[in-house]
Structure 1
Amino acid sequence: MEVVIAPADELAVLAAGHVDRLLRRKPDAVIGLATGSSPLKVYDELARRHAEEGLSFARARGFMLDEYVGLPADHPERYRTVIEKEIASRVGWAPEQVQGPDGLAADLPAASRAYEQAIAAAGGVDVQILGIGTDGHIAFNEPGSSLASRTRVKTLTRQTREDNARFFGGDVDAVPTHCLTQGLGTIMDARHLVLLATGRQKAEAVHQLVEGPVSAMWPATIMQMHPHATVLVDDAAAGRLQLADYYREAYASKPAWQGL
């Protein structure tokens, strides 16, 4: 696992630059898309590169991490709507090139299986963008999730719903109770994981992710077992890291040709 500590704007440029290089090398790459606040600056930078530098998404595919269950198709906080607004429409992605779990399906377990099959049929995810919750969840894999889990229905914790209430006018009761989410095992199938975290409120989760034991109590810690995982954090989110000085030194000494 590589840990990079830098200002938030620089982290976004690093992550977007990695996606840029991937798409120029492999135009039909498959990109895993996260929602929430963590990837927004990355999406801004990718949209800028598309508009100003000709970065093409014409042959690329996108797969979303998760979706709320039961939100109407036209709800502004439905994750399919959010991804369309924040990245897909800004880079010329056609609707059929971006897929997400079907939170409106009549048969949610069947929809979960179909989503797993769709990812596999696309050849798997080349780079998965991730954020992390204050309780250590990635996607909507809440504490206690199986480390081998696949796409499935999950019940959101009160903490997650409170954290997400800011997107629903501050009303926690308006946040859905259930979701469909890629499982930890599904996420671990991606060839490269790139997680971004900023702010002091994420410091304990980042500490557990990087330096704590692998545990279902902190689901993101499964990333320690991935052969190619990158953690991008600002100084505030790195505030609890015991080896922060080493991570800074290691990154400063890294050969430029390695990239992320």
Structure 2
Amino acid sequence: MKVLIKPNTQVQAEFAANLIKEEILAKPDLKICFATGNSPIKTYQELIKMNKNKDVSFSKVTSFNLDEYVGIQKENKCSYHYFMHKTLFDYIDINKANINLPNGIGNIVDNSNKYEALIKEKGGIDLMILGIGKNAHIAFNEPGSLPTERTREVKLTKSTIDANKIYFDSENDVPKTAISMGIKTILEAKKIILLADGESKAKALFDTIFGEVSPEIPSSYLKTHPDVTLIVDESSAKMILEKVKK
């Protein structure tokens, strides 16, 4: 596991976007899994700039996403379908037929199995982009998640609901479950980049790096993968830096 600490979120975003660009230039038909949430937004903005400047093309890229709320239509402004289109897809030259997100409507077991089959059919994920929750969840794999689990319906913890309620009219509107890639699915990606920023992520990052590999720290399973890079800002790396200085 490689940990790269950048002075601020802008430098972090530029660095991460350049890494992603280089992966696409090396393999134009790259299979990328994108993350949602605040952490990757600036990176996506940098990718949009690169695409507009003709520095990189997404025309042959196939995209996947980590998760989606259960019971929310994709046109809903709180859905991750909507988020991805409004923060990235609508502004780059990706073929809309190559965009794949989990389906949170209908039979979730069937949807989960179909999503896993689609990933396999496309040859697996080359590059996985992750964020991390305050409780060290990756995708919606909450504490207690097992490394054998694949895409499935998961119950969201109160801390995750609290963190996401800012996107909804009220806490009651936040879905209580989501369809999420499992840790096994995530770890099958060839390369993983995790983005984190802000002091609220400091404990989760510290536990990821220095904690035991355990279901209680879902992100700790990333230590079992051969090619993981954590790109973080100084505020989220606060506890790591304090430990290193001792």
Deviates more, 1:179-188 or 1:76-85: 76-85
Q: Distance in 1 between matches of 2:22 and 2:172?
A: 42
For the residues of structure 1 that align with 2:243 and 2:16, how far apart are their CA atoms? 22
Aligned AA (1:201): S
Matches within 5 A, 1:93-104: 93-104=94-105
Partner residue, 1:67: 68
Report the identity percentage.
34
- The answer to whether the 8 Å contact 2:128/2:191 transfers is yes
Pair 1:133 & 2:133 matched: yes
Q: CA deviation at 1:243?
A: 4.9
The aligned residue for residue 181 of structure 1 is 180
* AA aligned opposite 2:220: T
Letter in structure 2 aligned against 1:222: Y
Indicate conservation of the 8 Å contact 1:88/1:94, yes or no.
no
Q: CA deviation at 1:72?
A: 2.1
Could you list the runs of 5+ residues in structure 2 that have no partner in the other structure?
A: none
Deviations 1:143-163 (A, max 9, x none): 101122100000101110100
1:93 CA displacement: 1.8
**1:199·1:237 contact (CA, 8 Å) conserved in 2?**
yes
Matching of residues 1-260 of structure 1 within 5 Å: 1-6=1-6, 7-104=8-105, 106-169=106-169, 171-241=170-240, 243-244=243-244
1-structure distance, mates of 2:127, 2:16: 10
TM-score (norm 2): 0.96
SS at match of 1:32: strand
| SS in structure 2 of the partner of residue 47 of structure 1 | helix
1:78 maps to a residue whose letter is S
Cα distance change on mapping 1:75 and 1:5 into 2, 3 Å: same
Question: 1:238 touches 1:244 (CA, 8 Å); kept in 2?
Answer: no
RMSD: 1.3
Distance 1:18 1:233 in 2: 14
Residues 29 and 61 in structure 1, CA contact (< 8 A), matched pair in contact too: yes
Contact persistence 1:196–1:233 (CA under 8 A): yes
How far 1:173 sits from its partner (Å)? 1.2
Aligned pair count reads: 244
CA-CA distance at 1:195 after TM superposition: 0.5
Distance 1:144 1:150 in 2: 14
Alpha-carbon distance between aligned partners in 1 of 2:244 and 2:144, rounded to the nearest angstrom: 28
Post-superposition offset of 1:245 = 5.5
Aligned amino acid, residue 182 of structure 2: G
Contact 1:33–1:63 (8 Å) recurs in 2: yes
For the residue of structure 2 that corresponds to 1:99, the secondary structure is: coil
- How far does residue 53 in structure 1 lie from its aligned partner after superposition? 3.1
Where does structure 1 differ by over 6 angstroms across 4 or more consecutive aligned residues? none
C-alpha distance in 2 between matches for 1:147 and 1:240: 26
How big is the shift at 1:22?
A: 1.2
> TM-score scaled by structure 1?
0.91
Q: Distance in 2 between matches of 1:128 and 1:61?
A: 12
CA distance in 2, matches of 1:197, 1:102: 26
Separation (CA, whole Å) in 2 of partners of 1:35 and 1:74: 16
